[in-house]
Structure 1
């Protein structure tokens, strides 16, 4: 995924971020083609409207009390065999959110302008789907399903456990920033990588977004 397309630009505060977090142009390298690319969310798991989004979240157990802020150190998604360190990513000189270095395939990035995992608000963690060498940390993210866990270790030794209540592919154009990143009244997590259709010339045309809510603290 080319660096210049892997950026997020805050506009008027976090609640209205115009996020097009990740895009890539490496799907057709190393023998990968469109039919052998990363999995995409099943139709049944995709969020198609705010009522569906809200109903899925309401079926989760009550969220624990929010934790005090502490940076993430590691993310695990057992269902798709993700187990990766987390680094901080911030804003570049143009005001866009950086992505992890593409050469570090098994590395996720926490946007440190978003809340720490388990704290009140919506935490954002992103990562590459692929790089020039092949699949990267979130290559299988599109096959995550509702009810599965995302575990985020924190620097204070606690682990924030989130339960997935939705996953969808959103286009870069018209990104629904408020619906994706707006506060939900409980600690939440968004895990993002690139996805959707692919063109060798322009890369991926969307982003896979996993929606999850805090359901356990260890």
Structure 2
């Protein structure tokens, strides 16, 4: 039940960028972020890891060469009500690592979240929907190691259908989940209608 609550609140809080855009009185709609292929890039269950898991270490930077992302990571957690924190909107170039979960390189799914936009324009994960299977994601850690992941799939989910188990659930591989908002911007609700989720598995 707690995992479900985190998933639902994650979906809600990742829409903060859209809410702020409306709240500050911007009259025009924000640019629509790139989306996964219409045909879908379904998540594939990762095979058992061929590399041993790494010990826990705090991640400090995420790099995604295909979309030109090189961003610092800050720790985020859940508050007393179970709501997931996100990086502050006044730092749109920063992504957040969900600290209570796995660290990148540990067995399980490490979760990294980022805004799609901000009052100033596109944010750190604006182009997340451009990723395709085989693209790489690099996570630099505080212990001076760099963990490399390969994208398995990219999907967009309606916010009332967030895949909590696939994102937070335990797995037999060293996984990574990147999450942001996506889809159409609903001006009446002041938020994007979907979430984009990237599924990736450690390769080095």
State the TM-score bracket (shorter-chain normalisation): 0.7 to 0.9
TM-score (norm 1): 0.82
Instruction: Compute the RMSD of aligned alpha carbons.
Output: 2.3
Give the SS at the match of 2:203: strand
Give the SS at the match of 2:84: coil
Aligned residue in 2 for 1:211: 199
1:200 is displaced (CA, Å) by 1.5
CA change 1:66–1:97 in 2 (3 A) is same
1:179 is displaced (CA, Å) by 2.5
**Kept in 1: contact 2:147–2:202 (CA 8 A):** yes
Aligned residue in 2 for 1:6: none
Q: Identify which of 18, 34, 45 aligns with 1:39.
A: 34
Which region of structure 1 is more displaced relative to structure 2, 132-141 or 22-31?
22-31
Aligned residue in 1 for 2:135: 148
**Kept in 2: contact 1:41–1:142 (CA 8 A):** yes
**How does 1:1-218 map onto structure 2 within 5 Å?**
11-12=1-2, 14=3, 17-21=6-10, 22-23=14-15, 24-25=17-18, 33=29, 36-47=31-42, 53-54=44-45, 57-58=46-47, 63-202=50-189, 203-216=191-204
Please give the per-residue CA displacement for 1:125-163, whole angstroms capped at 9, x wherever unaligned. 001000001000001001111100000000000011000
Structure 1 unaligned segments of length 5 or more: list them. Answer: 1-10
TM-score (norm 2): 0.87
1:82 is displaced (CA, Å) by 0.5
1:16 is displaced (CA, Å) by 7.7
1:172 is displaced (CA, Å) by 1.2
**Kept in 2: contact 1:20–1:175 (CA 8 A):** no
1:27 is displaced (CA, Å) by 6.4
CA distance in structure 1 between the partners assigned to 2:94 and 2:167 by the alignment: 23
**Kept in 2: contact 1:63–1:213 (CA 8 A):** no
CA change 1:124–1:211 in 2 (3 A) is same
CA distance in structure 1 between the partners assigned to 2:83 and 2:200 by the alignment: 24
Give the SS at the match of 2:73: strand
| Alignment coverage as a number of residue pairs | 196
